[in-house]
Chain A
Amino acid sequence: MTVLHPILAATTESPQQLMLPLLVALPLLGALIVSLVRESTLARTIAFFVSLGVLVFAGLLLTQTVDGSGPGFHVWNAPDALRLGRNPATAFSVSLGADAISLWLVALVAVLTPCAMMATVSSLERAGAFFAWLLVLEAAIIGVFLASDILLFYVFFELTLIPSFFLIGQWGGIERRYAATMFFIFTFVGSVFMLVSILYIVTSAGTFNIGRCVEFVQRSMTDRQQFWVMIGLLLGLGVKTPILPLHTWLPTTYLQAPTPVTALLSGLLAKLGTYGILRLAIPIAVGGSQGCLIAWLIGLSLAAIVYAALIAWVQKDAKLLVAYSSISHLGFCVLALSTLNVMGGQASVLYMINHGISTAAVFLILGMIEVRMGTRSISQVSGLGRGRPKLAFFFVLFVMSSIGLPLTNGFVSEFLSIQSTVSYSLWVTAIAASGVVLGAIYMLHLTAKLIFGPARQPAEVIGTPGDLSGRELLALVPLATLVIVLGVMPNTVLNSIRDPIASIMTRPQPSAGTVIVEAPAVTSAGMN
């Protein structure tokens, strides 16, 4: 079976293709409008409906791809006028492409953003700017997932920094400026390394197309070149993910960011890293020449799973606890990718989606608790379940999803992630599986402290704060539904991403001559 890299192959022109640029443009346009609105409720409403619109478009594209009625992948190229360069093969042109992997992740962005907006407190200062930045962030993240051009990928990847920086630095906690700086410098320095790698690839390959760049690295670079390229990419992508030990920025940043933003940072921004690893770094290793790097990746993932879980367990701050749990979880995600087999790839993408849902949900609900209690300290608050059945229900549900209880979404991805390592080494499997026990330990510790136990609240809190409000339910119910739906029907995701994953995980054919690939050039598809 000769599987083309999906982004390589062009499809015929169709109205759906216009949806790709729309997915990026709509939130940007919305941001422009929202930034002019002063009134907080109105800003939220507009932003919410804009993000709902994005959700509708993403949903339309995704359904067609999943049920097979539409094309397996979509490509859109900017009109000629925007093209730079004379030679079509090397010219830079804005081109977007989406296969099932991209579309699922875009759908994740489209779901989480409105939920995060709904979870934002009403009393926010300068709400217009806040929601505008959220929309910019959404556009940038979607852009990364849709970019089929390595330069565009890089630009969007960097672009996510700006809204995140402002969201953290302006609406964050007490140490927000420090956190924003740290986040910024880490990610930025990381991406400098990535930039060098990308630069090297582009200049050697003479093309911007991601698919062809990857093909070139796989076939025409020596092992040594591949090694350094991959190191550069991993440094950039690894900061974002994060891969141990590049995670230092994460606890402070997650802690200081306003909770809806933390939800998006953990739910979406982290996925930029893993997505990039899947698209750019993994194909280099699939050839089998980078066994040493892969072994390192596996080792670091295992270390992250255990180490971060242990740290999570001793945290006093609920948000820090979940932040470290997120590092531990992403260990599974990278681990599954590093197995370089199809099951691992499928597991990892499913993990990205599921982790996005459940970790974001846990962060959102922690935010709701913080609003009520004015603290996140797990020693100051307890017994929240008393008189608040809805809060308790959603909290326990998301915790169960996070620790991978069967029939919630977390189970399938965690189980498959671990299972995909069996063929690599049983020791790896055993260590990874120990993360399942540790996960239960720290998450149930959190639940026991916050939800169970005698009712207690800080002295400053007046009265008894109530159960979840309608607005808060609006943020959590969609996520809770997805937790169950994806737990019962994971095949919707698994089947649709199987072929794209298989094409990534397939060892490239040894190159015969100089002809790299015979595929319709993506850049020329938009000419007519």
Chain B
Amino acid sequence: MQFALEHSYLIPLFPLLAAAIVGLFGRKILGGFSHVPIWLGVGASAVLSFMILFGMVGEHEFKPAPLKWFSWITAGGVGNSPLFDVSAGAWIDPLTAVMLCVVCGIGFLIMVFAAGYMKGEQGYWRFFSYLGLFIFAMTCLVMGDNLVMLYVGWEGVGLCSYLLIGYYYDKPAAREAAKKAFIVNRIGDFGFAIGIMLVWYCFGTVSYFGDGNQLGFLQKAVAFYGGDVSVLNPGTAKFVYWIPFCLMLGAFGKSAQFPLHVWLPDAMEGPTPVSALIHAATMVTAGVYMIVRLGALFVGNPAAMTTIAVVGAFTAIFAGSIALRQFDLKKVFAYSTISQLGFMFVAVGVLAPVAGVFHLVTHAFFKALLFLSSGVVMHAMLGHLDLRKMSGIKRKLPITRILMLVGCAALAGFPLMSGFWSKDEIVHASLDRSWIIWVVLSFTALLTAYYTFRVYFRVFEGPVVIPSRPPVETAPDVEHAAVQGATHNGHSGHSGHSGHDTHDSHHGHHGANEPKLMILPLAILAIGAIFAGLINLPFGFVFQKHALGEFLGQSPSLQLAFEVAAKNASTTQIETLAEHFGQPTSEAVGTISVLLPLLIGGGIAIAGIVLAYANHLLDRSRADRLAEGARPLTTVLEKKYLIDGLYHYLFVTPLRYLGTASNMFDVYVVGVFFKVLGFGQVISGSIVSHFTQRGYLQGYALTAVVGVALILLVVFVL
């Protein structure tokens, strides 16, 4: 471990170098082998990450220390500006280690899959180069020891997301989706950036835990919430309240929480491995990571925590309900991701960060599995993903069917699967804060089980329906089609059909529907989706009871946050709080209080699955009748609560009008005003015509010379 810690910079560096190599040589030299450098780079980072993780688990008391790479931005510090000093450096503690293993480990598996999935694509090298760049940015994000590093990673993954969503850049839909993702995230980052500036303004530093000589802002926040105002810059106390709200805007953007969730469903325009890696397993969880990391700053502000919990719960049920009436596999899972992220936000909002991270880990496994399995389905179904167009494909894809079943069961929270344990912990923790949130989450859990198995029963079970032709674009883009015809210069593979990432099986592996290279990583993910729950069981089995919690509890982030939370808590609450923050507890929690919520959670999941079975396998027409019966509601759900249209009318169009109006104003008012004022009428009559007659230059030179002479004259007379 010591090696990995000393050379922590290698973790982001390897993928970056790999990305650079592929970017430079991928097109001409590496070609179809472009995945090799990326595999090596990300694989090496994954090895280092696991070295760190296992090293920490082995060590009894791990004491993290800041690792400074280089001094990055230094400004102010003299005269009337306080110092702003940012180093590029790492802070590696259990939280970092867990995140790194998720990012690099699952990232590596997805890249193995992608090599099979993307085979024969024209932009193969480009794709892998972006992926390497993504892992670089994401590792920076989770490793950084200060807010600016977090921001660097944050925007870096945003860029990669932009590039990868727009991977099929000649498709207008992909292009618009990429732009939308970046801009919506930028709106979040607007808050994030102001939050960082306020942290610096109030606390005088952006470093989480300081560098040994100086305290970090999280430690100062603990002191401040404890009543010590002297840690702040004078006169800034009133701003501290707003910092969590600014920062959480960034988290809402990146983690696709309402009202900034609109970009994630559209992001499914990217190739499926991207959806799995970036838009399910890693990047979108960055918001959860941020709030856990900055716990001490957030926890001291009950209003902020309530906001997070409420937004999370609302997003969970909101997105979960939309998922009910989506017909596209990836869209269903996209809304499901938003909904599950809502669960994680509830977890951190109700002061149960361990549960949040636990769900983050299990979700990474099963959601990556679900997306990648959808990719296999899409491959085999000639690019189709519409669950109305296919049915009973388990005979064609027997292995995928099992993998998908595992993923669905885990997402639905089927008893003993990983999702069951982690989701239940969140639902249970929410009850400590508010029964309303508990009800909302429990109902969402029911919806989750229902929509997940709706997909499974529709696609894999029932009568066999297999599409024989690639999908035709539903809303053909006229200009697109015309241009494709005119300037189509031999690009094969994706020629602009299907509403999706346009990936079809025209190229590569015709015979094998389930190539080994793609199935192997899926199998590993499936094992994770089943067993990942073991790391944090509410009782001792294989690992200790709450092993993950105890491990994460060693992170100063959770310790400091607990310190703040404990100050406001009554003695009875402290035990539960300690458990939620992974801190040592004195007494064991009774068996009943462990078992009962698990039974309820399991019951809800099974109820959802049974309902799905009844409506989508036993008698499929029943689901349609149900939908027809509640037509207005169905329409609203199918239109995703009309949020996109609403934003368009509320923000985009008015802003666009404002732009047009400003443009007119600039040309016809400001411009004309100046022309009339000075240079149009008055002067053109005299000086300008004077100029034009003798040429501008002479006139100008004359005037300049006269000016200079005038100065000299005045000076010498003086």
> Nearest chain A CB to B159's CB is how many angstroms away?
6
CA A341 to CA B79, docked complex, whole Å: 8
Complex contact B175–A457 (CB within 8 A)? no
Contacts of B171 in A (CB 8 A): 454
B540 within 8 A of A: no
Complex contact B77–A498 (CB within 8 A)? yes
Specify the chain B residue showing the minimal Cβ separation from A86: B716
Q: Mark B314-335, 1 if CB is under 8 A from A, else 0.
A: 0000000000000000000000
A219 within 8 A of B: no
The one of A195, A419, A505 in contact with B80, judged by C-beta atoms closer than 8 angstroms, is: A505
Complex contact A406–B155 (CB within 8 A)? yes
> Known contacts being A383-B170, A389-B126, A444-B183, is A453 close to B175, with CB within 8 Å?
yes
CA A189 to CA B175, docked complex, whole Å: 46
Chain B binder among A11-19, A68-76, A129-137, A157-165: A157-165
Within 8 A of A (CB), among B450-495: 477, 479-480, 483-484, 487, 489, 491
Contacts of A436 in B (CB 8 A): 186, 189-190, 193
B200 within 8 A of A: yes
A426 within 8 A of B: yes
Complex contact A158–B75 (CB within 8 A)? no
Instruction: Please classify the interface of chain B as helix (H, G, I), strand (E, B), loop, or mixed, using the class held by over half of its residues.
Output: helix
Chain B binder among A40-48, A107-115, A487-495: A487-495
Contacts of B186 in A (CB 8 A): 436-437, 440-441
B711 within 8 A of A: yes
Within 8 A of B (CB), among A152-185: 154-155, 158, 161-162, 165, 180-182, 184-185
Q: Mark A473-503, 1 if CB is under 8 A from B, else 0.
A: 0000000000000001111001100110010
> Known contacts being A158-B704, A184-B700, is A422 close to B198, with CB within 8 Å?
yes
B524 within 8 A of A: no
Chain B binder among A51-59, A267-275, A311-319: A311-319
Contacts of B77 in A (CB 8 A): 342, 498
CA A387 to CA B683, docked complex, whole Å: 53
Within 8 A of B (CB), among A214-243: none
CA A284 to CA B708, docked complex, whole Å: 24
Complex contact A346–B76 (CB within 8 A)? yes
Complex contact A506–B79 (CB within 8 A)? yes
CA A407 to CA B714, docked complex, whole Å: 52
B674 within 8 A of A: yes
Q: How many residues on A have C-beta within 8 angstroms of the other chain's C-beta atoms?
A: 94
Interface residues on B, range: 35 or more
Complex contact A195–B172 (CB within 8 A)? no
Contacts of B74 in A (CB 8 A): 491, 494-495
A279 within 8 A of B: no
CA A495 to CA B78, docked complex, whole Å: 11
The one of B23, B170, B197 in contact with A418, judged by C-beta atoms closer than 8 angstroms, is: B197
> Known contacts being A199-B714, A310-B655, is A426 close to B183, with CB within 8 Å?
no
Complex contact A405–B489 (CB within 8 A)? no
B659 within 8 A of A: yes
The one of B170, B201, B679, B704 in contact with A422, judged by C-beta atoms closer than 8 angstroms, is: B201
Complex contact B156–A407 (CB within 8 A)? yes
Q: Mark A179-214, 1 if CB is under 8 A from B, else 0.
A: 011101110110000010011001100101000000
> Nearest chain B CB to A316's CB is how many angstroms away?
10
> Nearest chain B CB to A456's CB is how many angstroms away?
5
Which of A155, A189, A313, A406 has its CB near the most chain B CB atoms (within 10 A)?
A406
Complex contact B79–A505 (CB within 8 A)? yes
Having A206-B718, A419-B84, A448-B178, one finds 6 other A-B pairs with CB under 8 Å, namely A92-B715, A307-B662, A405-B156, A441-B183, A456-B487, A494-B74
Task: Name 12 interchain pairs, CB-CB below 8 A, sorted by A.
Answer: A92-B712, A155-B704, A181-B688, A248-B671, A386-B489, A407-B156, A429-B194, A453-B170, A454-B170, A454-B480, A456-B483, A457-B487
Binding site for A on B (CB under 8 A): 23, 27, 71-81, 84, 126, 148, 151-152, 155-156, 159, 162-163, 166, 169-172, 174-176, 178-179, 182-183, 186-187, 189-190, 193-194, 197-198, 200-201, 239, 477, 479-480, 483-484, 487, 489, 491, 496, 655-656, 658-660, 662-663, 666, 670-671, 674-675, 678-679, 683, 688, 696-697, 700-701, 703-704, 707-708, 710-712, 714-716, 718
